[in-house]
């Protein structure tokens, strides 16, 4: 059985839990990282020397890095639906996966931590405002793309929607001023109607 390590409130872990849920895979989930510990245990470090989450074990195969895990699960278990067989379509989905990680993750962290995780006396308003400005600019790129297609993956939901979809729940759930990005919001509403998204991603923000 597939085994997934990682605390459920981690954006990167949510990607994997959501993907597994969409694929209908039976799996064992082990909370790890943060207050749960585990990641510094020698057994875990033998699997993931980075000491980070998520990490999976599928049979004898061990894999870390959230986007790589999503791609692996989609390629192995989706019968070409979440992991397109057409290289051009697949590259378009890949693009959005890596974009969410390389472009959105850092400014989003500055927003999320200064709204949700840090106590009021430790918050950095300048970092929050810069993060909000950058996220707004970047998310407008996704909004423009979604004006012409229902999902970042194309005509159908797929792996390309998963990384940004995990950020989207927090983006629309935080008490912040957001610009009107109607196509992004409509896409998020489509995700929010998916049972696997509700289970893995739409949990209290912590």
- 30-39: long-range contacts (C-beta < 8 A, 24 or more apart)? 30/3, 30/4, 30/5, 30/6, 31/6, 31/7, 32/5, 32/6, 32/7, 33/5, 33/6, 33/7, 34/7, 34/9, 34/10, 35/7, 36/7, 38/5, 39/5
- Which pLDDT score, from 0 to 100, does residue 80 have? 86
Q: Which whole number is the average pLDDT over 2-27? A: 98
Q: Tokens 């430790």 belong to which residue? A: 122
Q: Is residue 37's pLDDT more than 90?
A: yes
Q: Is residue 151's pLDDT more than 90?
A: yes
Q: Which whole number is the average pLDDT over 181-199? A: 98
Q: Is residue 142's pLDDT more than 90?
A: yes
Average pLDDT of every residue of the chain = 97
Helix spans in 48-151 (H): 66-77, 87-99, 105-112, 125-146
Predicted confidence (pLDDT) per residue in 78-105, tens digit: 998 999 999 999 999 999 999 999 999 9
**Reported pTM:** 0.96
Determine the length of the chain.
206
Which domains, from first to last, does the chain contain?
Answer: 2-77 (3.40.30.10), 87-194 (1.20.1050.10)
Confidence of residue 162 (pLDDT cuts 50, 70, 90): very high
7 contacts 33 by C-beta, under 8 angstroms: yes
């Amino acid at each position: 059985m597939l085994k997934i390590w990682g605390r459920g409130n981690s954006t990167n872990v949510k990607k994997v839990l959501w993907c597994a849920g969409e694929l209908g895979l039976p799996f064992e989930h082990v909370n790890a990282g943060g207050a749960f510990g585990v990641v510094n245990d020698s057994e875990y470090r033998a699997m993931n020397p980075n000491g980070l989450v998520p990490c999976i074990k599928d049979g004898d195969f061990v894999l870390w890095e959230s986007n790589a895990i999503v791609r692996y699960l989609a390629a192995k278990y989706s019968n070409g639906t979440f992991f397109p067989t057409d290289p051009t379509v697949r590259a378009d989905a890949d693009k959005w996966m890596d974009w969410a990680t390389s472009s959105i993750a850092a400014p989003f962290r500055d927003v999320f931590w200064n709204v949700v995780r840090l106590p009021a006396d430790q918050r950095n308003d300048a970092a929050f405002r810069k993060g909000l400005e950058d996220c707004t600019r970047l998310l407008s790129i996704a909004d423009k793309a979604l004006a012409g297609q229902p999902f970042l993956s194309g005509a159908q939901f797929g792996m390309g929607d998963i990384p940004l979809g995990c950020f989207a729940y927090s983006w629309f759930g935080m008490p912040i001023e957001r610009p009107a990005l109607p196509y992004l919001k409509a896409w998020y509403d489509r995700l929010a109607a998916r049972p696997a998204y509700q289970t893995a991603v739409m949990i209290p923000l912590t």
